[in-house]
Chain A
Amino acid sequence: MNEHKTIDQQSLDLINGGIDAELSTIEQEKLARLLAESSAAREINEELELFAQIMGELPDLDPPDYLQDAIERQIRLPAHSNAKADKQGLFDNWFSANWLRTGFALAAGLVLTVGVYEMGSQPITTQDATNLVGTVVKSQMTGEGELLDSVHVTTERLNGQVEIRNKDDLFSLDVQLISDGPAEVVVNFAGRGLEFAGIVQKQDRKDAVSVMDGSINVASSGEQNYTVMLRRTGATQEQESVPLRLEFFAGNALVYEAELDVSRQ
């Protein structure tokens, strides 16, 4: 290192610039002359070349396998805005969709018509149905409560995320999806000690909602933004540990399956 005192700063800059491949053609020629004439410059150059070589030989590390997924799960993006604008008549094409085999109810704006069954329990009574028909669920919990789990859907035709939150006995499933065409989310809550408690539409639009046999089907198209509410009904510890199963359909095809952990900390 002491040899540096024997060459000037300009020469040192040239040598470093050469090591970093940052020299112009003229500067490269100057460097070549310098190295030919000065043994001190050559020595410094060799040291720096060795240093750069050692640094270059250090391998890139592979990020942990979980990293990309962990990052993506936490990222929130603005609501998708390039959904197809024309959704008129869309539901006409859905009547043949496989989800309709379990029945459907059309919801207009915030007013939803909902029928409820829960697996393992008695079929819904007339009284129950009457109580639920036309229910407008208040957004008493949407976006609130402890975030328990989330899932991100990234497929060719359907993208978005679903988050589940918990507050007291209420669970909210916040669904934000975007699809190029008809899409459906099926939430299977049977056997988890949960009951359907309502749905909050965050858009003024028409979606189809059906709740039967321990599953909730919400069918829509384009941008979807709604919250499904579930209520705990004296579940056993074993039931609480069973995750919610979600199925995502685009058109009639199952494009993604996921599970959400509903066990409270």
Chain B
Amino acid sequence: MVNLAHLIPVFPLIAFVINILFGHRVRRYSALVSILSSTVSLCLSIYTFVWFLKGQGSYTLFTWLILGGTSLNIGVIVDPLTCMMLVVVSTIGTLIQIYSIGYMKDDVRFPRFFAYMSLFMSSMLGLLLADNFVTLYIFWEGVGLCSYLLISFWFERASAARAGMKAFITTRIGDTGLLIGIFILIFSAHTVYFSDLANLSDASPLLTVAALLIFCGAAGKSAQFPLHVWLPDAMEGPTPVSALIHAATMVAAGVYLVARCFILFSAHAPALIWVAYIGGITAIFAASIATVSNDIKRILAYSTISQLGFMMIGLGVGGYSAGTFHLMTHAFFKALLFLCAGSVIHSIHTQDIQKMGGIFRKMKVTGLTFVIASLAISGIPPFSGFWSKDEILSEVLRNGHPFLFVIAMVTSLLTAFYMFRLIFLVLFGKPRSEIHPHESPKVMTVPLGILAVFAIFVGLVGSPFMNHAFQNFIYLGQSHKSESMEPDYLVMVLSTLLASMGIGIAYLLYVMNKNILPQRIRRHFTLLYNIVYNKYYIDEIYDFLFIKPSIRLSRFASEFDLGVIDGAVNGIAWIFVILSKISSWIDRNIVDGAVNMTARIVGLFSLALRRAQTGYIQTYLLIAFFGLVIIIFIKLIGG
């Protein structure tokens, strides 16, 4: 078998080039080009998976840079984590692109959308295949760029443009941390290859800092506290974008990075614990905001942040397989949730859940898949979310973090609650909107169905029913401390109980009492409600602390440029004007004056000499005789 892994990102890249350059000529067929390329990547991913199972591994492609004594070799990493991620990303990407044919049907820039989607697929797949930090960083920036392009896809809207900028700048802050971390790593470990991380098992403070900084980059991309602020605003982009990039794949890149560098993190316990706690704070913080939000996509965005925090908790306590398991299951059901939301938005033309209701009657497929996904995320067995969430909860408890356990449990409760609040308000009850919903076209509902199947069954690969095949697989090739695999029944029962409780409370508040109780709660706890509803005023704090001073600084710089530098240039020009004015004055008054004065002197002389022209002969004779006298006199004196 021949190694074809490196071709995986190539086909979407070709699709991007075709769609960007010839988009206006291919029009509707641009979708075909993109989907075709995604499908090819999917096939190649599966092929690589099988190829890996047959015993193959990472390999190098070519030497890129030669600096002094060292050289940078570009290669491909093929290990369990990458294989799993490749298949997941390709599958979900293809399905979402099929869905987009229906969702973006009426958009003018249809080909460009698919071009950006293909570019994103290429970057994400390249990121997964990178075997060293340099290549990783290149693709890291690539996905960031695509995120920006797609968030502000409808750039006519000022809010979309701003959201794109916010996303880019916020992740940039994370990326700077990542870059510095890479530099520290190069400086102290003299390597950029992931494979060399295993040799750095000796803890050193410098490497701890490097690990923390790498996590900083991951936190930016995965929207962890405090760099989470861009993800809710990124919902300005089209819903397929939110589904693909901001739910299933790109935000997972941060988690992937932590997993990739797990050996580095686990060798430096402070960094790892930091990961866990940040994840914990993020999880409960985001979940609380989701409970009071009224925008369907924002609820899902905060849900994503919360679930990513969950994954970080999993990785942070040392559960490599638990975290990556949840990464996989979350990709499927979150993508499904977003696509369902997109379907609803497509038919109702609003995103405010207060204005929705009773949609289930008219949109059966969307509604059913929506419920399935919600059950999955809430952690109800036997759906996929249950197994992965449980793994994380078990790991937390097993590795002795009771505080984190409590936080995780509360988060699970809140997750179930807000998801079913969403379900009950959107799908059931009396319709509150004038627009009559209708089911979406098949091109949108079929991907929904396929994803629903995954959402139900994909968790089983990590369940005891399949002997934890996933965990075993993930550990393949990784020298890692083994974990006990017996199911923790206490945790399972507890989590299911909490999830059911959450659903029950939601049912109570929103179905039985028909929204009266929530309003009463709101009235009594107004201050608390306001704080949570306004996302704890984090955006306002950031604006005050960072954004306004930055704007003031840039304005100052621009005014300095205009005033001082342009002023200097203008001043020089003004000096020249003054000089030319002086020179012209000199020319007019002094030079011309000299000329005029000469003329006037001549005039004066001639005026004086004119007196000699009396016209009197006697005067002439007088002068003549006077001359004669003088001459004779001189002759007399002389001679």
A binds B: no
Which B residues are within 8 Å of any A CB, using their own CB? none
